[in-house]
């Protein structure tokens, strides 16, 4: 059974709110599926079955009283393990935070609880969200449900795989340079990175604070819009939170793309696999058939984003991760003095990729190199944002590939960090600019693996962008959603 054979998040919520089905029955189905396949896929760092069933009972009791538990009533969801959950371990898939129990919930966790959603667990990720394959997790990699010999992407690989495997109809990830959209493309799901500041980062354990953003994974664009409505909005506890009210993203979906101007980013097609270029052009044709005006547009500045990102993000990571010193929380390795204790704790607690980025970030922030590297990267960031602004003066939405290739086999890039970093070549520009973008599965490529097409919009342009995404979704090639890899004949 593929994910689309199961009810959507909207259908689950409607059935629970009407009393047609109990929230408990949906949670039990989710936990049964997890129990059957999780030993192979390893989507989760922790499964919170007891808490989920208890919350389902509360939802069902509210419905029995005639109360409305919310737009996501009874919907099973999964949370990336860098989102704080009160009394539930939040590790960032790092030994340095193994077993840490936050004393509070992240704002997005609170909002989903208020909307009636029920978390069934915390999903695996690349350590501190640093990676593109989930191979950097201290607790072992997650596997792609389409082919368990291939990576699910990263850093939100566990969240993407949980939706692709049919464990849950919705999950949350975080996206610093493509960590929602890239695994969504690899796993054949919808993955949405909202405008920076639209969704509160309070309670998200920071990687790079000026780039991080939380967003949904879903099987459909409509479900992604529904989840976005539940988590978006101003939060006074986040100083970067925008003072805006979320739009009615779901209601706008039916408006179509008649009259929209769509730009195909030609620079993104140069290095992409041939099958991926064909998919992007097919998606563009679908938008044209829907009434949009489609033209190619060159934005060469976007190809400089990768180099700038890998100076800015490590610099911010170096600053953010300095708090893990063995004193306040997390792992502590005893040593004769404080300095040696700090060093021993970090040596034991951080993995190779995290250490690599901390050292790079510390270097580019050091005296004598700050202007040459970090400051110059910020200038490039400005050029990227300005190039986007010029493009959006001509077009309402941009379109291109999400990734240069389909999901690659385990081990293919672990010894070549630069090759791994290139997986985010097409996703990073939107993070530097703070703009929204969404990956939609559209076709199958090499190895019958899913291909994601990326729709990009200007700041707070989610409504129009999602309208275009839904048209692309409706035109997708037959078979793009399944069967998932747990069927007969899958790699194990």
pLDDT given at position 2: 61
CATH class of 3-302+382-474: alpha beta
pLDDT given at position 484: 43
Question: DSSP class of residue 139?
Answer: T
Quickly list H helices, 232-304: 249-252, 274-289
Among 140, 200, 217, which residue's Cα sits nearest to residue 439? 217
**149 phi, psi to nearest 5 deg:** -90, 0
Instruction: Report the distance separating Cα 379 and Cα 376, nearest Å.
Output: 5
Q: Where are the domains of the chain?
A: 3-302+382-474
10-residue mean pLDDT profile of the chain (492 residues): values are: 78 98 98 98 98 98 98 98 98 96 98 98 98 98 98 98 98 98 98 98 98 98 98 97 90 94 97 95 97 98 98 97 91 95 96 97 94 96 98 98 98 92 96 98 96 98 98 77 41 32
200 catalytic residue (yes or no): no
Alpha-carbon separation of residue 279 from 242, 311, 442, 445 (angstroms): 35, 32, 7, 9
pLDDT given at position 451: 97
Instruction: Report the distance separating Cα 123 and Cα 375, nearest Å.
Output: 35
Question: DSSP class of residue 97?
Answer: G
pLDDT given at position 337: 95
The answer to whether the beta carbons of residues 208 and 365 sit under 8 Å apart is no
pLDDT given at position 200: 98
Quickly list H helices, 96-145: 107-114
155 catalytic residue (yes or no): yes
Catalytic member of 8, 30, 171, 179: 179
Whether a cis peptide bond, with omega within 30° of 0, leads into 333 is no
Alpha-carbon separation of residue 29 from 41, 123, 416 (angstroms): 17, 18, 40
The residue count of the chain comes to 492
Catalytic member of 22, 142, 155, 423: 155
Instruction: Report the distance separating Cα 205 and Cα 189, nearest Å.
Output: 24
pTM above 0.85, yes or no: yes
Instruction: Report the distance separating Cα 360 and Cα 314, nearest Å.
Output: 6
8 catalytic residue (yes or no): no
Helices (H) and strands (E) in the chain, counts: 16, 11
User: Which residues are CB-contacts of 189 (< 8 A; sequence separation ≥ 6)?
Assistant: 3, 160, 163, 164, 217, 218, 219, 441
Instruction: Report the distance separating Cα 86 and Cα 40, nearest Å.
Output: 28
Instruction: Report the distance separating Cα 419 and Cα 294, nearest Å.
Output: 32
Distance of CA 372 to the CA centre of its chain: 32
pLDDT given at position 477: 54
Among 130, 171, 323, which residue's Cα sits nearest to residue 161? 171
């Amino acid at each position: 059974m593929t994910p689309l054979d199961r009810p959507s998040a909207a259908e689950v919520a409607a059935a629970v709110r009407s009393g047609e089905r109990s929230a408990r029955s949906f949670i039990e189905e989710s936990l049964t599926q997890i129990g059957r396949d999780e030993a192979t896929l390893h989507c989760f760092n922790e499964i919170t079955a007891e808490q989920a069933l208890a919350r389902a009972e509360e939802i069902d009791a509210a419905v029995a009283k005639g109360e409305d538990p919310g737009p996501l009533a009874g919907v099973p969801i999964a949370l990336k393990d860098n989102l704080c959950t009160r009394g539930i371990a939040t590790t960032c898939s790092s030994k340095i935070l193994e077993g840490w129990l936050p004393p509070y919930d992240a704002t997005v966790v609170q909002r989903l609880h208020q909307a009636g959603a029920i978390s069934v667990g915390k999903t695996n990720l690349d350590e501190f969200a640093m990676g593109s394959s989930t191979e950097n997790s201290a607790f072992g990699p997650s596997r792609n449900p389409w082919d368990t010999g291939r990576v699910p992407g990263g850093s939100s690989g566990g969240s993407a795989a949980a939706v692709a495997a049919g464990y849950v109809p919705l999950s949350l990830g975080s996206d610093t340079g493509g960590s929602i959209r890239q695994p969504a493309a690899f796993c054949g799901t919808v993955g949405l990175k909202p405008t920076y500041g639209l969704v509160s980062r309070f309670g998200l354990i920071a990687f790079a604070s000026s780039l991080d953003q939380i967003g949904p994974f879903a099987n459909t664009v409509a479900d992604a819009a529904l989840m976005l409505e539940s988590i978006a909005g101003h939060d006074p506890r986040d100083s970067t939170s925008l003072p805006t009210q979320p739009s009615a993203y779901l209601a706008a979906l039916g408006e179509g793309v008649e009259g929209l101007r769509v730009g195909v980013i030609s620079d993104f097609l140069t290095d992409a696999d041939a099958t991926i270029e064909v998919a992007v052009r097919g998606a563009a044709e679908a938008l044209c058939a829907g009434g949009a005006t489609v033209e190619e547009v060159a934005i060469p500045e976007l190809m400089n984003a990768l180099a700038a990102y890998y100076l800015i993000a490590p610099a911010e990571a170096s600053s953010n991760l300095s708090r893990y010193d063995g004193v306040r929380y997390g792992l502590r390795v005893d040593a004769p003095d404080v300095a040696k204790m700090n060093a021993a704790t970090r040596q034991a607690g951080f993995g190779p990729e995290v250490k690599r980025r901390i050292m790079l970030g510390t270097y580019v922030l050091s005296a004598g190199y700050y202007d040459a590297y970090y400051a110059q990267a910020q200038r490039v960031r400005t050029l990227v944002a300005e190039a986007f602004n010029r493009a959006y003066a001509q077009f309402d939405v941009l379109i291109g590939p999400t990734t240069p290739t389909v999901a690659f086999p385990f081990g293919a890039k672990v010894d070549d960090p630069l090759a791994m970093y290139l997986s985010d070549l097409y996703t990073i520009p939107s993070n530097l600019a703070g703009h929204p973008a969404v990956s939609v599965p559209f076709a199958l490529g090499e190895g019958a693996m899913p291909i994601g097409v990326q729709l990009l919009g200007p700041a707070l342009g989610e409504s129009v962008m999602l309208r275009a995404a839904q048209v692309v979704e409706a035109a997708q090639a037959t078979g793009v959603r399944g069967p998932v890899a747990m069927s007969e004949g899958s790699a194990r």
